[in-house]
Amino acid sequence: MNYPEIASRMFNTPLMLHPGKAETIGRAFGPRVLGLPEAGSEQMGLIGETIREAKDGWGNKVYNGVRRASDGIGLIEIEGSLVNKGSFIGKSCGVTSYEGIGIQADDCRLDDSIRGVILEIDSFGGEVTGAFDCAEKIFELSTAKPTIAVLTDHACSAGYLLAAAARMIVIPSTGVCGSIGVVSMHVDVSGWLKKEGLAVTILKAGAHKADLNPYEAIPEDVLSRELSELEEMRVEFAETVARYRAGRLTTEAALATEAGVYRGMKAVEAGLADAVQRPSQVLAAFEAALGPAA
């Protein structure tokens, strides 16, 4: 496992992630990330859509085109934690990459044989980096063709951002969505170091060069600045969702949720979703709404 890579994506960086999921990740990986295991993790760049040429360990192409839910209906699966620059399509080791989602959205939009698209979403969220660009690709698809986000069962934080970009959101009665907010975690190991008889001297050039380092508590001015930046991201999140769900959810209403989550019909009543329906019934209803193929 590439724990340094995981740590860089977990701590001291803004996340659009449900806090319960953040706590689970922190408990699972927190004790491990102080070690020095081997490095090495392939990522894909954004420019040039290099993921189209990516190959797996056996030399097979990673991406072979958009999956179909049925004739004329594309299917994009958005599951697990959402990460930036992943070199894979669909879920891999519990994560889905924004690049994989975005390239499928682009291809669905440009493929004339695809009349509509289902986004199957079960995600508590993930990284801020890459999320808004990915959501815009889905929104561009939604302006061109009918799209529907089917929650099976969660669309929280960044997962909800992507769902909101669809024309319609369907949630099961037990499903949960929302968490329109941003969270960041900081590890202060200074107490542990003192207990172990260790002292870390930070040498820096530039007053803010070592901000958020794990060897000391966060200074008040740095904490204030970071909280202000997180709030700016939350406002952008709310404004973006309101733009996607024009007439159904305002920026003010999105902010008023205070990053809370809503279940089933309560999500519909709050304007976060459009209907409560069993996920297994959506395909037939979507096909009927689209009508016969030309």
Question: Does residue 131 lie in a domain region?
Answer: yes
Most confident option among 8-12, 146-150, 187-191? 146-150
Catalytic residue status for 195: no
How many domains are contained in the chain? 1
Among 24, 19, 22, 27, CA closest to 9: 22
Q: Using an 8 Å Cβ cutoff, are 258 and 15 in contact?
A: no
DSSP string, 232-287: HHHHHHHHHHHHHTTTT--HHHHHHTTT-EEETHHHHHTTS-SEE--HHHHHHHHH
State pLDDT tens for residues 15-62: 777 666 666 666 555 555 544 333 333 455 555 567 777 777 778 888
Instruction: Name the catalytic one among 97, 142, 157, 184.
Output: 157
What confidence score (pLDDT) does residue 38 get?
34
Residues spanned by the domain of 13: 3-185+241-288
Beta-strand relationship, 15-17 and 116-127? antiparallel
- Among residues 209, 228, 266, 280, the one annotated as catalytic is 209
How confident is the model at residue 94, as a pLDDT?
Answer: 81
**Looking at 22-26, 61-65, 239-243, which range is the least confident one?**
22-26
- Residue of 71, 69, 67 lying closest to 103 (CA atoms): 67
What's the chain's average pLDDT?
A: 87
On whether residue 95 sits in a domain, the answer given is yes
The answer to whether position 179 is within a domain reads yes
The tokens for 81 are: 């934690």
Query: Is residue 82 scored above 80 in pLDDT?
Result: yes
The 8-class DSSP code of residue 234 comes to H
CATH number at residue 163: 3.90.226.10
Q: How far apart are the first and last CA of the chain?
A: 50
- Looking at the domain assignment, is residue 246 inside a domain? yes
Instruction: Write out pLDDT tens, residues 192-230.
Output: 999 999 999 999 999 999 998 989 999 999 999 999 999
pLDDT at site 142 = 98
pLDDT score, position 283: 92
Supply the pLDDT for residue 61: 82
- pLDDT of 122 reads 96
Q: Is 280 a catalytic residue?
A: no
Predicted local distance difference test score (pLDDT) of residue 19: 65
Residue 190 lies in a domain: no
Rounded-to-integer distance, Cα 82 and Cα 90, Å: 10
pLDDT beyond 80 at 76: yes
The per-residue pLDDT for 47 is 59
How long is the chain?
Answer: 294
Compute the average pLDDT of residues 156-175.
97
pTM of the model: 0.83
Q: Is residue 160 part of a domain?
A: yes
User: Is residue 201 a part of any domain in this protein?
Assistant: no
Could you read off the pLDDT of 197-206 as tens digits, one per residue?
999 999 999 9
Residue 209 within a domain: no
pLDDT score recorded for residue 11 = 72
- Say whether 275 sits in a helix, a strand or coil: strand
